[in-house]
């Protein structure tokens, strides 16, 4: 436990909101010491804060780490495990659902009929059929994205303060490009669909890349020259109190603000977010569907140096498009009318992304995950529907590709009706530990809560030996 200090003898001062006497950020707990790694959030300057954090993480000395990234395809709402990767063709119709099954590239492994491209690519992927998603819920979707079983805002008022794994990685690694934010979310339909910076501060919230066409447009009437003038005015005002600054934070703030302006007006970020620069053949390969365009943009971002990209794979801002409760429970739809149209689009974008990364020599460095927040009920026709499945926070399936991991396998299994884990439970902590191993983040990394107490990101979990070997 870090020692605490009383500051009751100190008078109030103009900079008290910076909490200069408090320890903030991510710490690494070792056997012999606890090392603070990072810088406090920059008091409302989210882009400058991101840039400051990147310099802090990269300035600890030593060689620049190998460029590694994660792309999380977040299937918002919770896809049915039985109607995708954990088919039950010998179960009764009310369990197995309306879809036929197909064989995959791995003998004895079957998928649903609407995932033929993934079935053909199974030798380059891993399916995990035994993900333990107990405690997970959605709106907000926190547990699986934070690895914290208490991160359920409906039952825990503190849950929204738990930082996203992506935010922890952003703090630790801060991306490999100083011209790009480390954590980007694409296609976000609702704030409740993703996890945020929490205790780490707004500096580690995701950079939202929803409307790429407007992302780098300056507000009406604000030119690059006027933006520069505003920066200079701010700099002049800062100089008036610079004599009070004993540790150089004002100089740093000015420099990070300059970098934030460069991000908005500079060419590197503009290029990364501009998929129009892709050859027509590549754009045609991904296709015109908005989800596929997001996958192409995610590839461009990790190629440019972004550490973590989450794609909110949804169409609406409620609980998510994959929340297939039934045709009579709009806007979700059921398994046939709701889920079936999604699967070919998802099948195409995932396999195209994995193939594209492989052809570019990036697949070993980019870990691709596709998952939601939980599975669906073993029985079809829940909640008075004839064709829907309700939430099932007992078990779910997911896919993993890339990351230099060992693929061409299925990890874990469920019982005959797909409702309970039969063997090899995989916990949120195990997933987080595997992600951290790929990203060279210590498994015992901690962050500090608002009382200055260290909290482990992974309270229990190990990298998956089947993948990591």
The pLDDT of 367-379, averaged and rounded, is: 98
**What does pLDDT average to over the chain?**
83
**What pLDDT score does 266 carry?**
64
Is the pLDDT at 175 greater than 90, yes or no?
Answer: no
Separate counts of helices (H) and strands (E) for the chain: 14, 18
The answer to whether 336 and 387 are in contact (CB under 8 A) is: yes
> Does residue 248 form part of some domain?
no
Give percent of the chain with pLDDT exceeding 70: 73
- The answer to whether position 243 is within a domain reads no
- Structure-token pair, residue 287: 């296709």
- The pLDDT assigned to 173 comes to 76
* 385-413: b (≥16 Cβ within 10 Å) or e: bebbbbbbbbbbbbbbbbbebebebbbbe
Token readout for 55 is 């310099």
Express each pLDDT in 314-333 by its tens digit. Answer: 999 999 999 999 999 988 89
Q: Are 331 and 224 in contact (CB under 8 A)?
A: no
Any domain includes 202: yes
- Out of 165-174, 180-189, 348-357, which region has the weakest mean confidence (pLDDT)? 165-174
Q: Which residues, including other chains, have CB under 8 Å from residue 64's CB and lie 6 or more apart?
A: 58, 176
- Please say if the pLDDT value at position 379 is more than 50: yes
The larger pLDDT score, comparing residue 271 to residue 426, is at: 426
What is d(CA 425, CA 430) in angstroms, rounded to the nearest whole number?
A: 9
For residue 53, what are the domain limits?
21-216+267-468
Q: How many domains does the chain have?
A: 1
CATH of the domain at 81: 3.40.720.10
Secondary structure (DSSP) of 229-292: HHHHHHHHHHHHTGGG-SSSHHHHHHHHHHHHHHHHHSHHHHHHH-GGGS-HHHHHHH-SSHHH
| Cross-strand pairs, 71 | 309, 368
Rounded Cα–Cα distance for residues 178 and 181 (Å): 8
In a domain? residue 311 = yes
What is the per-residue pLDDT for 35? 35
What pLDDT score does 225 carry? 60
Q: What average pLDDT does the segment 25-52 reach?
A: 42
One-character DSSP codes across 345-380: HHHHHHHHHHHHHHHTT-TTTEEEEEE-S-EE-SSS
pTM for this structure?
0.81
CA 289 to chain centre: 21
Q: pLDDT digit string (tens) for 40-73?
A: 333 333 455 555 554 554 454 444 456 899 999 9
Question: Average pLDDT, stretch 142-166?
Answer: 95
* Beta pairing class for 207-208 and 183-186: parallel
412 domain-assigned: yes
Q: Is residue 294 part of a domain?
A: yes
What is the reported pLDDT for 179?
Answer: 77
Starting at the earlier edge strand, list the strands of the sheet with 34-37. 34-37, 26-29, 445-448, 454-456
pLDDT of residue 11: 39
Give the helix/strand (H/E) hosting 311: strand 308-312
Confidence bin at 39 (pLDDT 50/70/90):
very low
Q: What is the pLDDT of residue 235?
A: 54
Kindly state the percentage of the chain with pLDDT values over 90. 68
Q: What is the pLDDT of residues 119-141, one digit of tens each?
A: 999 999 999 999 999 999 999 99
**Alpha-carbon distance values, 82 to 134, 271, 428, 431 (Å):** 17, 41, 20, 21
Rg (CA), the chain: 23
User: What are the beta bridge partners of residue 423?
Assistant: 413
Burial 201-212 (b: 16+ CB within 10 A, else e): bbbbbbbbbeee
The token duo for 199 is 């205790």
H or E stretch at 172: helix 165-172
Give dist(CA 210, CA 309) in Å, integer: 12
Looking at residue 223, its pLDDT comes to: 57
DSSP annotation of 164 reads P
| Burial tier of 181 (Cβ tally within 10 Å: 0-12, 13-18, 19+) | buried
Please, what is the angle between helix 342-359 and helix 290-304, to 10°?
A: 20
**Which of 260-264, 326-330, 460-464 tops mean pLDDT?**
460-464
Within a domain: 45: yes
Cα 364 to chain centroid distance, Å, stands at 18
What is residue 233's predicted lDDT score, i.e. its pLDDT? 52
């Amino acid at each position: 436990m870090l020692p605490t200090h009383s500051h009751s003898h100190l008078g109030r001062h103009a900079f008290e909101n910076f909490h200069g006497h408090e320890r903030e950020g991510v710490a690494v707990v070792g056997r012999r010491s606890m090392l603070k790694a990072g810088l406090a959030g920059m008091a409302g300057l989210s882009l400058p804060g991101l840039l400051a954090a990147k310099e802090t993480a990269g300035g600890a000395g030593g060689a620049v780490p190998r460029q590694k990234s994660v792309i999380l395809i977040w299937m918002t709402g919770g896809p049915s495990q039985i109607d995708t990767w954990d088919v039950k063709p010998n179960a009764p119709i009310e369990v197995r659902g309306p879809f036929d099954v197909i064989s995959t590239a791995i003998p004895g492994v079957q998928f649903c009929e609407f995932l033929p491209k993934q079935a053909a690519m199974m030798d380059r992927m891993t399916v995990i059929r035994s993900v333990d998603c107990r405690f997970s819920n959605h709106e907000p979707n926190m547990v699986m994205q934070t690895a914290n079983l208490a991160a359920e805002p409906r039952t825990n008022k503190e849950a929204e303060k738990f930082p996203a794994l992506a935010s922890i990685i952003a703090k630790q690694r801060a991306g490999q490009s100083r011209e790009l934010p480390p954590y980007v979310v694409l296609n976000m339909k609702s704030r409740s669909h993703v996890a945020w910076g929490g205790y780490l501060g707004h500096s580690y919230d995701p950079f939202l890349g929803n409307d790429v066409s407007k992302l780098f447009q300056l507000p009406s009437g604000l030119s690059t020259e006027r933006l520069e003038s505003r920066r200079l005015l701010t700099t002049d005002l800062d100089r008036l109190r610079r004599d009070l600054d004993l540790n150089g934070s004002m100089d740093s703030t000015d420099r990070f603000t300059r970098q934030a302006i460069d991000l908005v007006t500079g060419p590197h970020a503009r290029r990364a977010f501009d998929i129009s620069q892709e050859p027509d053949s590549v754009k045609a390969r991904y296709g015109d569907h908005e989800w596929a365009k997001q996958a192409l943009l995610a590839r461009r971002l990790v190629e440019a140096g972004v550490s973590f990209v989450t794609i909110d794979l949804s169409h609406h801002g409620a609980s998510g498009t994959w929340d297939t409760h039934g045709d009579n429970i709009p806007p979700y739809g059921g398994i046939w009318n709701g889920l079936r149209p999604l699967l070919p689009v998802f099948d195409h974008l995932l396999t195209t992304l994995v193939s594209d990364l492989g052809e570019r020599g990036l697949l070993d460095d980019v870990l691709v995950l596709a998952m939601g927040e939980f599975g669906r009920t073993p029985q079809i026709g829940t909640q008075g529907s004839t064709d829907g499945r309700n939430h099932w926070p007992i078990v779910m399936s997911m896919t993993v590709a890339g990351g230099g991991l060992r693929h061409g396998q299925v990890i874990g299994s469920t019982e005959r009706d797909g409702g309970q884990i039969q063997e090899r439970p995989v916990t949120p902590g195990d997933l987080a530990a595997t992600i951290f191993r790929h990203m060279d983040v210590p498994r015992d990394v901690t962050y500090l809560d608002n009382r200055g107490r260290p909290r482990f990101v992974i309270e229990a979990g190990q990298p998956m030996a089947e993948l990591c070997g």
